[in-house]
Amino acid sequence: MSHALFDLSGHRALVTGSSQGIGLALARGLAEAGAAVVLNGRDADRLALAAREIEGASTLPFDVTDHAAARRAIDEFEQAQGAIDILVNNAGMQFRSPLEDFPADAFQRLLQTNIASVFNVGQAVARHMIARGAGRIINIASVQTALARPSIAPYTATKGAVGNLTKGMATDWARHGLNCNAIAPGYFDTPLNAALVADPDFTAWLERRTPAGRWGRVEELVGACVFLASDASSFVNGHVLYVDGGITASL
């Protein structure tokens, strides 16, 4: 009985930004739990390569920062292929610079990629979920949803916004049968963090700062994602689940 709560068989999951890193790991984990997985990104060739790693995966390339393109892609997919039951809004980017020198164009790219994309794809998918009276939306937030660190203030702002937009989604859409939650990863060994992983001073700082004493592995996010995508979390809504080795719990 307990295993059945986490069974995603018969459900379809769209994961944005899933050609590598956290998105690909989450897509793989959802597939292992029984879901039919749809990979998203802007580069169709990279998506096709990623799809080879997951049995039965399909691809849906579109630009998540383009509101009209996102809605068109989702509407056409739903009409041709069927329902998207689970959405994981994972697409994101990072840019590091002291705040006083932060380029305005980089700030705008962060806003579009990290927060506007959550609105764009979330709204497009939710319209179909609302009509069906059911759906799961999982937004990928960050430890920076709660904490700041030098040189990434705009990124911190976008991830704080992801946390609050998640709460807003739950507030508006829970009555329609949707569960809208977020996962907030701590520091994980991903392509986005490659420069930090390669920096021995930063890694030493992170190991001291994190109670678990190490970088996270992307596979360690899968359990949280399957939980929030499944019936096991049927009364969880508007929640930000930190998966961070204890970093937000400790000074």
Catalytic pick from 77, 107, 155, 227? 155
CA torsion through residues 54, 57, 84, 1, sign: negative
Question: Residue 192 has what pLDDT?
Answer: 81
- Is residue 184, in this structure, part of any structural domain at all? yes
d(CA 91, CA 64): 8
**187 classed as catalytic:** no
pLDDT value, residue 2: 55
Q: Which domain holds residue 73?
A: 4-240
Query: Exposed, middle or buried: residue 229 (CB in 10 Å: 0-12, 13-18, 19+)?
Result: buried
121 token code pair:
């794809």
- How many independent structural domains does the chain possess? 1
User: What is the pLDDT at residue 191?
Assistant: 85
pLDDT attached to residue 173? 98
Specify the pLDDT at position 1.
42
- Kindly state whether residue 73 falls inside one of the protein's structural domains: yes
- Structure confidence at residue 3 (pLDDT): 83
Q: Is residue 117 part of a domain?
A: yes
- CATH assignment at residue 53: 3.40.50.720
pLDDT in tens, 93-128: 999 999 999 999 999 999 999 999 999 999 999 999
Residue 245 falls within a domain, yes or no?
A: no
Asked, for residue 246, whether it belongs to a domain, the answer is no
For residue 248, is it within any domain? no
Q: Is residue 249 part of a domain?
A: no
Looking at residue 172, its pLDDT comes to 98
Ranges in the chain, pLDDT < 70: 1-2
